[in-house]
Amino acid sequence: MTMPPAPAEPADTDRFTRRARPAFLYVMYVLLLWTIPMGLIGAVRPDAAAAMTRFMAAYLAAIPEPLYALFGTGYLGYTVAREWGKAKAGPGDRP
């Protein structure tokens, strides 16, 4: 007796899991769109924009390097494992 192959993307009813992936993209969109008001602030009040830029640079510099490495490794590992799972499942097994 053989079991049918598992789908590459199982139907998930957990509301948190369904929103987890888009939430990361929304954060990235906000960061990118924040450049528009920063450009306008820089045109009107260059000193305020410079102070905000220095603050953000200091904030990002305060994050430890191992934390950046952990995030990058986790994100890359998830992406590679997901693509490998899809490729292994084959074209007929995808939902």
Read off the pLDDT of residues 46-60 as tens digits, 9 standing for 90 and up: 999 899 889 988 988
Domain span including residue 79: 20-89
Residue 2 covered by a domain: no
Contact (Cβ atoms closer than 8 angstroms) between residue 8 and residue 85: yes
**Whole-prediction pTM value?**
0.48
What's the token pair of residue 56?
């953000």
With 80 as the cut, is the pLDDT of residue 5 above it? no
Contact (Cβ atoms closer than 8 angstroms) between residue 77 and residue 71: no
pLDDT band at 91 (very low <50, low <70, confident <90, very high): low
In a 3-state reduction of DSSP, which class is residue 24? helix
Residue 36 covered by a domain: yes
Residue 3 covered by a domain: no
Determine the Cα–Cα distance for residues 58 and 60; give it in Å rounded to an integer: 6
Determine the Cα–Cα distance for residues 95 and 28; give it in Å rounded to an integer: 28
Residue 6 covered by a domain: no
Residue 29 covered by a domain: yes
